Amino acid sequence: MALFRRRRSAYSDSFAALDEFWAHWPDLRDLLAASIDTGTPVPDETANRLTEYVARIHPALKWEISAAPRDPGGGLGDVGRAADDDPVALMARMAELDDPLASLGADTGYALTLSAGPDDQARILAERWARAAPEEPGWRFFPAFPADHDKLGKPVTWDDHELDLSHCTVALRVNQQRGLVEAGVYHPDFMFLPEETQTGVADHVVMLALGEDDYVRWIGRVDPLVEKPLDPLPPTSMPAVVQQLAGVRGNGGWVTLQGRVPLRGIIEIMVRHPLHRRDFPALTLYVHVALPYSNSDEDKLPSEPSASALDTFTMRLRDLLEDNGALFAQQTVGGYRQLHFYLDPDSGVLPDLESAVREWPEGRVLFQSRLDPEWEQINRLIKPIKRQIGA
pLDDT > 50? residue 337: yes
Asked if the structure places residue 373 within a domain, the reply is yes
* pLDDT the model gives residue 245: 61
Mean of the pLDDT values across residues 165-177? 90
pLDDT at 362: 97
Q: What is the DSSP letter of 251?
A: B
Are 140 and 267 found together in one domain?
Answer: no
Judgement on whether residues 264 and 334 belong to the same structural domain of the protein: yes
CA distance linking residue 190 with residue 199, whole number of Å: 9
| Residues 312 and 333 placed together within one structural domain of the fold | yes
The predicted pLDDT at position 13 comes to: 77
> Greater confidence, 316 or 7?
316
95 within a domain of the structure (yes/no): no
Helix, strand, or coil (residue 227) = coil
Residues contacting residue 63 through CB under 8 Å, at least 6 positions apart: 50, 51, 54, 112, 113, 114, 115
Pair (276, 378) in one structural domain: yes
Which residue range forms the structural domain that includes residue 65? 10-73+107-146
Average pLDDT (262-284) is: 88
Same domain flag for 232 and 320:
no
Q: In this predicted model, what pLDDT tens digit does every residue of 88-124 receive, in sequence order?
A: 443 344 344 343 333 333 456 999 999 999 898 899 9
Entry pTM: 0.77
Confidence of residue 385 (pLDDT cuts 50, 70, 90): confident
Task: Tell me: pLDDT of 174 over 70.
Answer: yes
Question: In whole numbers, what is the pLDDT of the chain averaged over residues?
Answer: 85
Report the pLDDT value the prediction gives residue 71, as an integer from 0 to 100.
Answer: 54
Arithmetic mean of pLDDT, 262-290 = 90
pLDDT exceeding 70 applies to what percent of the chain?
Answer: 84
Q: Is residue 180 part of a domain?
A: yes
Q: CB of 89 within 8 A of CB of 66?
A: no
- pLDDT at site 254: 85
Quick check: is 2 in a domain?
no
In a domain, 93, yes or no: no
Residue 141, φ and ψ in degrees, nearest 5: -120, 120
Q: For residue 122, is it left (φ>0), alpha (ψ between -120 and 50) or beta?
A: alpha
**Does 258 share its domain with 314?**
yes
**Is there a single domain that holds both residue 172 and residue 116?**
no
Same domain as 154, residue 142: no
The CATH number of whichever domain residue 270 belongs to comes to 3.30.70.240
- Considering the chain, what percentage of its residues have pLDDT values greater than 90? 70
Helix, strand, coil content of the chain in percent (nearest 5): 45, 25, 30
Q: Would you put residue 375 in left (φ > 0), alpha (ψ -120 to 50) or beta?
A: left
Using the predicted structure, report yes or no on whether residue 178 has a pLDDT greater than 80. no
- Name which of 278-282, 305-309, 358-362 the model is least confident about: 278-282
> Quick one: 265 and 307 in the same domain?
yes
Decide if 84 is inside a domain.
Answer: no
pLDDT score recorded for residue 9:
40
Q: What would the mean pLDDT of 279-304 be, rounded to a whole number?
A: 95
Contacts of 311 (CB under 8 A, 6+ apart): none
Residue 86: CB atoms within 10 A of its CB come to 11
- pLDDT tens-digit readout, 50-94: 999 999 999 999 999 999 987 534 444 443 333 343 444 433 443
**Residue 358 pLDDT:** 97
Q: What is the pLDDT of residue 243?
A: 77
Residue 90 lies in a domain: no
State the total domains in the chain. 3
Residues in the chain: 391
Helix (H, G, I), strand (E, B) or coil at 337: strand
Predicted pLDDT of residue 384: 77
In a domain, 102, yes or no: no
